Structures are given as C-alpha cells and as structure tokens.
Amino acid sequence: MAMDTLPASDQRRLDELYEYIDTQSKTFIGYPCSQQFDYTPLFRFLNYPINNVGDPYAPSSYRVNTKEIEREVIQWFAELTHADEKGYWGYVTNGGTEGNLYGLYLARELLASGMVYYSEHTHYSVSKNLRLLQMPNIMIRTLSSGEIDYEDLYETIRIHRDRPPIIFTNVGTTMQQGVDDIPRITSMVHELAIPQFYIHCDAALGGMILPFIANAPTWDFSAGIDSLSISGHKFIGSPIPCGIVLAQKRHVDRIARSIEYVGTLDTTITGSRNGITPLFLWYAIRKYGIEGFRRMAQQCIATAEYAVEAFERIGIQAWRNPFSVTVVFPKPLDTVQKKWQIAVQGQIGHIITMQHVTRSMIDELVADIEAASVGEPVK
Amino acid sequence: MAMDTLPASDQRRLDELYEYIDTQSKTFIGYPCSQQFDYTPLFRFLNYPINNVGDPYAPSSYRVNTKEIEREVIQWFAELTHADEKGYWGYVTNGGTEGNLYGLYLARELLASGMVYYSEHTHYSVSKNLRLLQMPNIMIRTLSSGEIDYEDLYETIRIHRDRPPIIFTNVGTTMQQGVDDIPRITSMVHELAIPQFYIHCDAALGGMILPFIANAPTWDFSAGIDSLSISGHKFIGSPIPCGIVLAQKRHVDRIARSIEYVGTLDTTITGSRNGITPLFLWYAIRKYGIEGFRRMAQQCIATAEYAVEAFERIGIQAWRNPFSVTVVFPKPLDTVQKKWQIAVQGQIGHIITMQHVTRSMIDELVADIEAASVGEPVK
C-alpha cells in the first residue's frame, strides 16, 4: 500500500502550529512544567506500537513493551519517597489525575464507609475524581499559605469519628504550592484514637522538589502515608503528560484479590498503557540522577527568590512558601496574563520558576507588569 | 545547567531494548494494533511541553496545546459515525478504557438507577470500570460468534424492567470480533416499552473498519447509540495508546452543568491531556483520508481470508466473522503462542491481520503450527 503524502495546505498548518507553539514556549512561565528536556535519542522507539498493557509486574503476551524500564522508574521513586523496599507497588500513569484517582479508589476499596477530607485549594480534578468514585467528602478550609486548616480538619474529623477518615493531602497546592504538614495530620488522627484511616498525598510538583532540598518537611512514606502521586511532566519534564503512583503493596494486594474474582489481575486504571513515557522518565533519571535533580531544584528555588525580589523592587507584594518555586502576586492585568500564560484564581496570580525560566524572563515579565500598570502596551 | 550524558551501560541497555522491540515486531500478529505508521515529521513537536488540559472546546491559558487539531479529529470521527452535526461532543482519550469509562460514567449520571448489561466476551477492563463507577450490572451470555445472546439479553432486561437499561455493546469483541446487532437491541428495548435507556458502543477496532466495508451492519449514531469509543492505536496505529470518545452533546451538557456546581467546567476524565496523539491521529487522517482507510480495510480483510484458507490447507479449522480481520483457531502450542505473541482464551487463539501483516507472515505462522504439531521445534 503506497503511503500517501500530506497535502501542502496541511503541511503549512503543521508548520504554523509548530511556530505558534515555539513562540508560546518563550513566555511559558505560568505552569509548573519544565521545558528543559530533550528526548531526541528516544524518538526511534516511536516507530513501534509499544504498549505496557496492565500491571507492570505481570507478564504480558504483548511483548512490544517497556515494562522492565517502567519497574525501574517505579523503584527509583519508591526509594526517593522512602517506601518499604519490598512493600510498595506502582505504575507510570497518564498524569496526576490518574494517580490521585488510583489513590482514592484504593482508599474506597479498603474503607468502604470512609469520609474524604481535602482542602479548598486542592486541585479541581479531585472533586471530579470523588464524583466519579461516589465517595462522600468534606472540603476543609485552607490557610493563607495554601496548607489545609488543621483546626478545621481536626474539628471536622472529630465530629465524624464514626467514619474512617481518608485524608487527601497536598505537597504543593496548585496556586501557592502550600505543603500540608502530614506528620501533624497523622498525630491528629492518632490523638482522636481513630483506628483506621488512609492518607493519600498529591505531590505532583513537590514530590520532585522536597527530596532535594535540605531541611524540607517529612511528607512521604516515612510520614506514614498510604499512597502518593507525582507528575512526570512537571519537574522532570515531558512532552506528554505522565506521572507515577505509588502505594502500599498490601493495600493493592487486597484490591487485586477482589479483581481476580472478576477474572483478571489487571490492577491499573488504564488498560493499554503508554510505554514511551516510562522511557522518557527512565532516561531523565539515568541522565541526571539525584545530584542532577538536586542542582536543578536549587537553581529553581534561587530563581524564585530572584523573582520575589524583582517584584518587590517595583513595589509589588510577592511571596512564596518555603521550599517553593511558585511565586504568588496580585493578579496582573489581562494583557500580561495572556502574554505570559498566567493562571489566576480570585485576586492572585502566580508564576512557577521551573528549570527553563531565566532571570531575563523574570525581568521582562516584571517590566511588562510595570508598563501595564501605567497604561503602556505589553509588547 | 550542563546536560549530563547517559552512562554507556544505560546507552547499551537502550540499544538492546530497541533491538528486542524491533525483533518482537517482526512476529507481531496477535494484537489488533497496526504497525504501519510513520509519524517522523511530527517528532519535532516532542520538544515542547504540549498539554491539552481539560475540555477540548474550552479555552485554556495553557497555550502550548493542540486543541484545534484535536477538535478536527473529533469532527472527522463524528462525521464518520453519523453523529448529529451540532449535537456531539468528544475528546481524544488515552485509549479504550478511558473512552468506555467515560461512556459508562455519562450513563450513570443520566440514569442513576440504571442497570448495566454487557456480554461475557466484553473486554475485561469493563468489569473494572463498572467496579470503579459502582454500577450494578449483569453479564449476559455470548453467542458462538462473539455477539451478545439476544434472547438472554431480552429476558434479563424484561425481568428488570423497573430499572433503565444501560447496554454496553461491542462492535468487535476482543477475541472473535463479534459485532452486536445494535438495531436489534434498540428495537428489543422499544418492544418492552422501556422509556429510558442508554447504549454505549465499544468500537475499539470495528469503529475504523465497518465504515469502510460495503454492506456492513448499522452500528453508530445512526442506530441510536448514546456514546462510542474507538481506539487510535489499533487500526490507525500509534506508538502511544490513544482513542476517541464521542457522545450526544445533550448528555454531556447535563453532566457539565452539575460539574460547574463544584466550580469547574472540566468534562474530561483525565485533566492534563496528551496533545501529541491528537496530532498523530490528525496526521494519519489527513494523509490517508476515507479512501486510504478503505483500501487498508479491504487489504486487511483480504489477508484475513487468506489466513483462513492457509489454516484450512493444513487441516486446522479456522474461521472469522463477516467484516472481521480476526481469525480464530484452536489454541496453538506454547512455542507458537510465544513466538507470535498470540493471546489465548480457553481453547481458542486468534491472529489479527492488521495492515502490517503480510501473507508471508501468515505462511510462516502456519508452517510453525504444522511443525509444532508433529513435534518439530519452532524456529
């Protein structure tokens, strides 16, 4: 069968789209996604129908897969987040939503009468997940830092002590990168003498920053959590959204048993699964290693500090949480928002100083904000 | 920050994996995934953090996206499946599981007291979806063709007339590519005077074959279905699992309204979404068009016919459904299963004559089966 060629008008559209994306990428400062990646040496794998269908630890007759690589990626994250050497299970997901959905699903299967608590600043996809899973839930107030309001959480759990709490925590909220104090939350639950509870941690961005910063708070499996989700397309960077989910293996085994009953050992949310993104993550991990990521995290934090100072120099009150690369400031004018792709919520906006964000980008943004405030057009 | 290089041992592992995958692809005949694709001209897009976050029809401040391309892909599938010109909604998914999950989720939101019916030969991921969604369900027997047992379905719906039926249909079951007679099912429901019902169609493979074959059965929106899912990595071919889901827009609008209540218009299951696979699908659609896909479908059917005859020549009873590229035959010996990556179920095995499957591959497989049956080793 002859391969037809693409019509010239379509070829032009592709070129225009490419130019557009390239242009947009130059002012890409409002999202927590690194642009500093280069997976060119892996593109040759895109000529095969790779599929990591089902459980990464189960054999498959579909042998065009990268499950061995995927397991190594999961192992690396398990070590990074202090999971028990033999006691974890996980897989490479299509992104944060799937990882959080998996954690909540696991919690629901384990604690059928559970009540989910999550803070107001939790990513909006979590409400959607809870609806999908039909899990009863209560939204808790958020402190100005973006952390969950511990007193509100305590009081609310206390009132519902008859139901096992399922606490959805954030290690980095979307808008302010607020980090929930997980040890404080667990001791709170213990203080209420509640025997059964579940803690899931959405560490989309923070899960790849906190491990590399000195004196960062304890948040991972060492703090007693049951599952966590970390994005791959955020700090590591990827042209395709992806992430990892990790959970206590004993929980997954309980679910796996019940699924076996319906005739399959399929434990992942998605059936046919991307086998390219595990390769991307593996490649980045092998290329940079802990030391490389540490340097990156330190650089990003330094850029964030620089940004806070740059804002302050023009009299704009900006701030950031400790260990955070998210700089929060008053919502800028529309022209600035548009040019710099800045997501706003209520009266605040933020930028996120990922690896590709340079000091000269910050300078240009700050100059744009200053110009816009006196009515000059943003270039 | 200097880009570290990949250690030599890791580079070797990548090369070995590449060789392994390339070797496996030469005997890739047991799965419904075409290997005949070439997206090389699109690889340049993999240098950007593309993300089609949220609804493809909603604007996003994340402008590094391909949503316009995605909408064109959805429009093409809407026309192909006779959706009402202004009355559809859809998006590019991560594959069949997500499309089927979406359809079932929509059905649950619309018909809270609904009962799901699906045939025994339905893909195993559907049981998982039903569990995730906590939807009451009844499995219906399957006919020898792989179609749902219409009498069993009729009787079972009749007994549960008090609950709106949600019928999960297959246009191509996994093992035998059996096609449910959707017009027969809808008239059955009408005959029972049931006012409210929902039909989802899993057309993972068949959705890209039936439209291109003369006199194929009516199965799509013209048969009155409510939603459908078609895979992108199967007939079209893609190195990354993907697909599309399409639904009646009026259903989606009802869900969207309720989600707005929780503060978001986010209508897709996944939040951050792959923006590369819509490009792949668009590229294939523009390159081949309806005529190109028609030629492919005819070629695949011809290869399937050839395979049935080749099996018969060595005295093996093989068969295929009309309009089907899946050739079913008695489960082969382990060595043959392994070499040709053949999935088996009970006493049967199958091959699927996708675009890349040549007559000489069929000849080699048949020779291997013949050799194995007399105790000769499979090469």
By the 8 A CB rule, do B179 and B217 touch?
A: yes
Give A263's Cβ-side CA count (13 Å radius).
11
pLDDT in tens, B15-28: 999 999 999 999 99
- State which residue of chain B sits closest to A44, comparing Cα positions: B18
Cβ of A302 under 8 Å from any chain B Cβ? no
Alpha-carbon distances, residue A85 vs A89, A253, A268, A291 (angstroms): 10, 16, 21, 22
Helix (H) or strand (E) segment spanning residue A300 = helix A276-313
**pLDDT for B97-148, tens place per residue?**
999 999 999 999 999 999 999 999 999 889 989 999 999 999 999 999 999 9
The residue type at B87: G
Identity of the residue in A39, A134, A276 whose CB atom sits nearest the CB atom of B240: A276
pLDDT of residue A5: 80
The CA–CA distances, whole Å, from A282 to A67, A243, A278, B375 equal 11, 12, 6, 42
Whether the per-residue pLDDT at B248 is higher than 70: the answer is yes
- Quick check: A239 contacting B, CB < 8 Å? yes
| Average pLDDT of span B179-199 | 97
Gap between the Cα atoms of B131 and B97, Å rounded:
13
pLDDT value of residue A60: 81
The predicted pLDDT at position A270 comes to: 85
Question: What pTM does this model have?
Answer: 0.96
Residues of A in contact with B36 (CB under 8 A): 1
Is pLDDT above 50 for A35?
yes
Q: What is the dihedral of CA A188, A194, A198, A202, to 10 degrees?
A: -20
Q: What is the pLDDT of residue B271?
A: 86
CB atoms within 10 A of CB B190: 12
CB contact under 8 A, A49 and B295: no
The pLDDT-based confidence of A353 (bands split at 50, 70, 90) is: very high
pLDDT of A264 over the 90 cut:
no
In 3D space, the residue among B244, B283, B275, B279 whose CA is nearest the CA of residue B63 turns out to be B275
Q: For residue A262, is pLDDT > 60?
A: no
Q: With a cut of 70, say whether residue B347 has pLDDT above it.
A: yes
A237 vs B contacts (CB less than 8 Å) = 49
CA angle A341-A342-A348, nearest 5°? 170
3-state secondary structure chain B: CCCCCCCHHHHHHHHHHHHHHHHHHCCCCCCCCCCCCCCHHHHHHHHCCCCCCCCCCCCCCCCCCCHHHHHHHHHHHHHHCCCCCCCEEEEEECCHHHHHHHHHHHHHHHCCCCEEEEECCCCCHHHHHHHHHCCCEEEECECCCCCECHHHHHHHHHHCCCCCEEEEEEECCCCCCCECCHHHHHHHHHHCCCCCCEEEEECCCHHHCHHHCCCCCCCCHHHCCCEEEEECHHHHHCCCCCEEEEEEHHHHHHHHHHHHHCCCCCCCCCCCCCCHHHHHHHHHHHHHHHHHHHHHHHHHHHHHHHHHHHHHHCCCCCECCCCCCEEEEECCCHHHHHHCCCCEECCEEEEECCCCCCHHHHHHHHHHHHHHHCCCCCC
A52-75 pLDDT tens trace: 998 899 888 889 999 999 999 999
Give the pLDDT confidence of B150-163 residue by residue, as tens digits.
Answer: 999 999 999 999 99
The C-alpha atoms of residue A292 and residue A277 are separated, in whole angstroms, by 20
Predicted complex: ipTM over 0.90: yes
Query: Checking phi first, is residue A88 left (phi over 0); if not, alpha (psi -120 to 50) or beta?
Result: beta
Mean pLDDT of chain B: 94
Whether A270 and B99 have beta carbons less than 8 Å apart is answered as no
Percent of chain A with pLDDT over 90: 87
Is pLDDT larger for residue B219 or for residue A270?
B219
In this predicted structure, the answer to whether residue B224 has a pLDDT above a threshold of 90 is yes
Contact B177, B320 (CB under 8 A): yes
| Test mutation, A64, A139, A281, A296, chain B, max B CBs within 10 A | A64
Distance between CA atoms of residues B357 and A55, nearest Å: 27
**Is the per-residue pLDDT at A146 higher than 90?**
yes
pLDDT at B1 over 60: no
pLDDT band at A260 (very low <50, low <70, confident <90, very high): low
C-alpha angle B236-B239-B244 in degrees, rounded to nearest 5? 50
CB contact under 8 A, B97 and A270: yes
**How many angstroms separate the CA atoms of B27 and A67, rounded?**
19
The band of B2, judged by pLDDT with boundaries at 50, 70 and 90, is very low
Please check whether residue B179 is in contact with residue B170, taking contact to mean a CB–CB distance below 8 angstroms. Answer: yes
**φ, ψ for residue B253, nearest 5 deg:** -60, -40
- Which positions 152-181 of B are in contact with A (Cβ < 8 Å)? none
Q: What does DSSP say about strands A344-345 and A348-352: parallel, antiparallel, or unpaired? A: antiparallel
Q: pLDDT, tens digit, for every residue of B272-281?
A: 999 999 999 9
pLDDT top residue among B164 and B375: B164
Residue A379 has pLDDT above 80, yes or no: no
> What SS3 state is found at A26?
coil
Q: Which of B34, B229, B238, B324 is catalytic?
A: B324
User: What's the whole-number average pLDDT of chain A?
Assistant: 94
Alpha carbon distance B355, B36 (integer Å): 6
pLDDT at B376: 78
The predicted-structure confidence for A281-312, as pLDDT tens digits, reads as follows 999 999 999 999 999 999 999 999 999 999 99
* Dihedral of alpha carbons B109, B110, B113, B117, sign: negative
The more confident residue out of A49 and B266 is: A49
Establish whether B34 is a catalytic residue. no
Digit-coded pLDDT (tens) for A74-108: 999 999 999 999 999 999 999 999 999 999 999 99
Provide the pLDDT confidence category of residue A2 given band limits of 50, 70 and 90: very low
- Check: CB of residue A41 under 8 Å from CB of residue A287: no
Give the domains, in start order, of chain A with CATH numbers: 12-39+290-372 (3.90.1150.10), 42-285 (3.40.640.10)
Q: How far is A14 from chain B (nearest CA, A)?
A: 8
Q: What is the mean pLDDT of residues B240-245?
A: 98
Decide: B50 and B211 in contact? Cβ < 8 Å.
Answer: no
The whole-number pLDDT of residue B61 equals 83
CB contacts of B110 in chain A (<8 Å) are none
β-strands B348-352, B344-345 pairing: antiparallel
Return d(Cα B358, Cα B362) in angstroms, integer.
Answer: 7
Nearest to A267 by CA among A65, A109, A111: A109
User: Is residue A235 pLDDT above 70, yes or no?
Assistant: yes
% chain B with pLDDT above 90: 87
Q: Phi and psi for B349 in degrees, rounded to 5?
A: -130, 170
* Residues of chain A positioned with their CB less than 8 A from the CB of B37: 49
B214/B327 Cα distance (integer angstroms): 20
Say if strands B243-248 and B227-231 run parallel, antiparallel, or are unpaired: antiparallel
Q: Which of 309-328 (B) contact A at CB < 8 A?
A: none
- pLDDT higher than 70, residue B284: yes
The per-residue pLDDT for B257 is 66
Q: What percent of chain A has pLDDT over 70?
A: 96
Task: Give pLDDT, residue B228.
Answer: 98
Residues of B whose CB is below 8 A from A69: 17
Q: Nearest CA to CA, how far is A215 from chain B (Å)?
A: 23
CA distances from A17 to A23, B14, B45, B69 (A): 10, 31, 9, 9
In this prediction, residue A41 has a pLDDT band, given cuts at 50, 70 and 90, of very high
Determine the residue among B94, B202, B212, B291 to mutate to test chain A binding: the one whose Cβ has the most chain A Cβ atoms within 10 Å. Answer: B94
Where is average pLDDT lowest: A365-379, B300-314, B345-359? A365-379
